[in-house]
């Protein structure tokens, strides 16, 4: 993607590089469209283009030049640059080699068939850590694919590739001292994760077994990758998992587990000194391979069960005066940090390393929401924000019905883009300084091929790049959307296989209780977009109303809306039932227990007019770990014709339909009469995302309306709204 031919550059005294650069003139042009991603901190275009041609084409024009200078005094810092394009040529000043490199990336994005637009760009990153994570354990990706990703990352100014090198899926990096890690547990019986992990033959196979699935990077592979990344100003951050997620290690070296037997444990036996020796030995070889200042030691999701009964672990706890097994985990992380610091490196780990006491200089990667990151920043530790709800690229990016199987979740590109890693409402200015940056994670349980990997990463990685680079106040979805659309063919030209964006529409609502109406807004990922809609539940056509602004609903509407291209409906229409119903904002009393983690809009969530979307994490679905039993007070005797409540089901994370819903009415709030029962019609073994609306029709007069939904699957039930007419 480099615009500037390297061989024509001359280095003078190590700081000034001058290149022959050919141009015709700065020809004025109208309707300038610059599609830079990430958007620079400052840019101003004066109009016109610097024409760039070959030697032959310059015969009748003047010739200009590119001057590239490293200026360590540059105000925008080492990764910053200043770019000036004029009729006389191009001047690029970089705060360091990295700054020059980023300036060149910007130049190559600026190149259009008309030339390079004349103007000034002053640019530097918002965060020094701009990371993309790749899990190569659950599925192995060859180094050629990693190089392809590094190319794309550098084009978008991402500077860290976090490689998740070890996990139950297989060990992926050669370690001389422990050869069995790659000869014995880098291959397995089955490629497909679900078949392997959930099947009864979950076994590793020796390297060379015919039909075995897996692979690993030799030390030579790693050196090549590290050099390839370094040439693009990218650091490869290696992750080796301790003490959990280590099933594969404990098959190769069962003596490091509490049971001492293979296929029994996922956590190292911390009471065994050999475990600490193994960790230090492996880290030594990792340090030798990877120049990264930070080394990631995992630290997430240790089961900790075996430690409770293991004599060695219990003896260590007793000796060190530990109160809980959390402190055992903390002990191992402390040992790792001490070892890394002694070698001049720094420790980074997932936010679970906060449990049982954080190692003194550890950096925290916050994945279970932002709370871990906020807590660590308040303690004065550096933090990389990578919360699952925004930053997981293994989550669905569109309606699951239209997508290849994924682990769950829902992080469409607009949601990703909306993330701000430095929440100024939760942290002081001083604490915010500890937010080192942002990262997106691509776990690969359900991602087997390079094509599928690229599909999950792109274009979401472009949103990530802009979050990491562009000042928060200079970012907006409206501005990003057209640029992101323009980059889809750019990604394809790089040989990548991006998701080409959804045909679905995003529906957002604003419930206005003063005007007693609901405003419904529609948005598309695609640009430019032509949206037609109906409000009576019929399929829209190109003759239906054109969406030009909020749709106002004062009673009931069944909105169906769709994207159109050249008169043709794209995909399937997006549907939303909208009711400014009679229960909105009425008092509600819960007889059953609420679950604090999923309060959605709070006590009023079921009567706020807001319907939920495709994920129970969208803040509209209220979740309960038991029956839902609530009473709505209509505040006066009211004629009721219809009551309905909707529940979601997604069995993977344990969200089920209630067994049944029963409706009661009362005039006095004491004596209730049943109006009927509606049972669920959905199977609790169907793994798809499903919804059921439980509707009661009748002709009642009542002040109080009671809804009872029974939880029968020992999981969650989630409802979004009780609609009362
Ligand atoms: Zn143990």
**In angstroms, rounded to a whole number, what is the distance separating the alpha carbons of residues 30 and 696?**
61
**In angstroms, rounded to a whole number, what is the distance separating the alpha carbons of residues 145 and 61?**
42
Angle at 474 between CA 469 and CA 476, to 5 degrees: 100
Give residue 59's pLDDT: 53
**In angstroms, rounded to a whole number, what is the distance separating the alpha carbons of residues 86 and 26?**
7
Tokens 């990604």 identify what position? 491
By annotation, the residues acting in catalysis are: 167, 245, 301
- Whole-number Å distance, alpha carbon 313 to ligand 1 midpoint, is 4
Q: Is the CB of residue 386 less than 8 Å from the CB of residue 367? A: yes
- Alpha helices for 446-597 (secondary structure H): 450-457, 460-469, 477-493
- Whole-number Å distance, alpha carbon 364 to ligand 1 midpoint, is 26
- Whole-number Å distance, alpha carbon 354 to ligand 1 midpoint, is 21
**In angstroms, rounded to a whole number, what is the distance separating the alpha carbons of residues 385 and 434?**
11
Structure tokens at 158: 């991402």
Q: What is the pTM of this model?
A: 0.89
Strand order in the sheet with 204-205: 204-205, 187-188, 213-214
Give residue 423's pLDDT: 83
Give residue 4's pLDDT: 40
- Whole-number Å distance, alpha carbon 269 to ligand 1 midpoint, is 4
- Whole-number Å distance, alpha carbon 186 to ligand 1 midpoint, is 24
DSSP state of 87: T
- Whole-number Å distance, alpha carbon 139 to ligand 1 midpoint, is 29
DSSP state of 469: H
Block means of pLDDT (10 residues each) for the chain, length 725 residues?
36 39 42 86 94 54 74 93 93 97 97 92 98 98 98 98 98 98 98 93 96 98 98 98 98 98 97 98 98 97 96 98 96 97 98 92 95 95 97 96 92 98 92 97 98 98 98 97 98 98 96 97 97 98 98 97 96 95 97 93 94 88 97 98 97 95 97 98 94 97 98 96 98
- Whole-number Å distance, alpha carbon 314 to ligand 1 midpoint, is 7
- Whole-number Å distance, alpha carbon 337 to ligand 1 midpoint, is 21
Helix H or strand E encompassing 8: none
Give residue 64's pLDDT: 63
**In angstroms, rounded to a whole number, what is the distance separating the alpha carbons of residues 390 and 407?**
14
Q: Is the CB of residue 490 less than 8 Å from the CB of residue 458? A: no
**In angstroms, rounded to a whole number, what is the distance separating the alpha carbons of residues 474 and 468?**
12
Give residue 31's pLDDT: 52
């Amino acid at each position: 993607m480099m615009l500037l031919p390297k061989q024509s550059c001359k280095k003078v005294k190590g700081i000034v590089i001058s290149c022959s650069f050919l141009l015709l003139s700065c020809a004025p042009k109208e309707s300038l469209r610059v599609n830079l991603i990430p958007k620079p901190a400052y840019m101003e275009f004066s109009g016109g283009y610097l024409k760039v041609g070959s030697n032959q084409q310059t015969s009748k024009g003047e010739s200009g030049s590119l001057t590239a200078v490293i200026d360590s005094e540059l105000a925008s810092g080492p990764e910053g640059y200043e770019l000036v394009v004029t009729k006389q040529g191009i001047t690029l000043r970089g705060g360091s080699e990295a700054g020059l490199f980023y300036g060149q990336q910007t130049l190559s994005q600026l190149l259009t068939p008309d030339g390079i637009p004349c103007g000034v760009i002053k640019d530097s990153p918002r965060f020094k850590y701009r990371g993309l994570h790749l899990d190569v354990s659950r599925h192995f990706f060859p180094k050629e694919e990693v190089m392809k990703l590094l190319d794309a990352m550098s084009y978008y100014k991402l500077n860290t590739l976090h490689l998740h090198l070890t996990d139950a899926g297989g060990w992926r990096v050669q370690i001389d001292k422990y050869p069995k890690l790659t000869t014995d547990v880098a291959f397995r019986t089955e490629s497909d994760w679900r078949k392997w992990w959930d099947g009864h033959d979950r076994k590793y196979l020796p390297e060379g077994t015919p039909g075995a699935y897996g692979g690993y990077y030799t030390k030579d592979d790693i050196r090549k990758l590290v050099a390839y990344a370094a040439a693009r100003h990218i650091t490869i951050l290696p992750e080796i998992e301790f003490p959990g997620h280590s099933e594969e290690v404990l098959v190769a070296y069962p003596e490091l587990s509490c049971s001492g037997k293979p296929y029994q444990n996922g956590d190292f036996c911390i009471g065994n000194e050999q475990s600490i020796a193994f960790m230090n030995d492996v880290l030594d070889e990792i340090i030798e391979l990877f120049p990264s200042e930070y080394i990631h030691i995992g630290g997430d999701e240790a089961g900790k069960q075996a430690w409770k009964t293991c004599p060695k672990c219990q003896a260590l706890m007793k000796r060190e005066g530990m109160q809980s097994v959390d402190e055992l985990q903390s002990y191992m992380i402390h040992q790792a940090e001490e070892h890394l610091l002694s070698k001049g490196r720094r420790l980074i780990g997932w936010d679970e390393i906060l449990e049982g006491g954080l190692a003194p200089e550890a950096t925290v990667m916050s994945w279970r929401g932002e709370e871990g990151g906020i807590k660590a920043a308040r303690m004065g530790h550096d933090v990389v924000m990578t919360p699952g709800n925004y930053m997981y690229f293994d989550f669905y990016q569109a309606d699951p019905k239209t997508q290849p199987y994924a682990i769950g979740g829902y992080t469409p590109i607009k949601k990703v883009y909306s993330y701000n890693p430095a929440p100024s409402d939760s942290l002081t200015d001083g604490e915010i300084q500890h937010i080192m940056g942002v990262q997106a994670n691509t776990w690969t349980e359900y991602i087997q091929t390079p094509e599928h990997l690229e599909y999950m990463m792109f274009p979401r990685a472009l949103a990530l790049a802009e979050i990491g680079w562009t000042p928060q106040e200079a970012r907006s979805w409206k501005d990003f959307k057209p640029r992101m659309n323009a980059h889809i063919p750019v990604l394809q030209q790089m040989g990548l296989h991006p998701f080409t964006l959804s045909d679905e529409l995003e529906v957002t609502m604003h419930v206005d209780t003063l005007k007693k109406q609901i405003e419904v807004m529609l948005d598309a990922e695609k640009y430019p977009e032509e949206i037609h809609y109906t409000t009576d539940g019929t399929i829209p056509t190109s003759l239906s109303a054109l969406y030009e602004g909020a749709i106002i609903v004062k009673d009931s509407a069944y909105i169906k809306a769709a994207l159109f291209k050249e008169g043709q409906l794209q995909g399937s229409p997006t549907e939303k039932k909208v009711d400014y119903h009679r229960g909105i904002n009425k008092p509600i009393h819960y007889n059953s227990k609420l679950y604090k983690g999923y309060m959605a809009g709070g006590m009023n969530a079921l009567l706020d007019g807001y319907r939920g979307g495709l994920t129970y994490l969208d803040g509209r679905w209220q979740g309960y770990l038991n029956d839902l039993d609530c009473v709505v007070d209509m505040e006066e005797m009211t004629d009721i014709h219809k009551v309905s409540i909707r529940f979601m089901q997604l069995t993977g994370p344990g969200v089920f339909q209630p067994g049944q819903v029963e409706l009661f009415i009362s005039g006095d709030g004491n004596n209730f009469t049943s109006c009927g029962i509606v049972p669920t019609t959905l199977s609790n073994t169907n793994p798809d995302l499903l919804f059921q609306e439980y509707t009661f029709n009748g002709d009642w007069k009542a002040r109080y309306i009671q809804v009872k939904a029974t939880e029968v699957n020992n999981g969650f039930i989630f409802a979004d709204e009780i609609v009362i007419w």
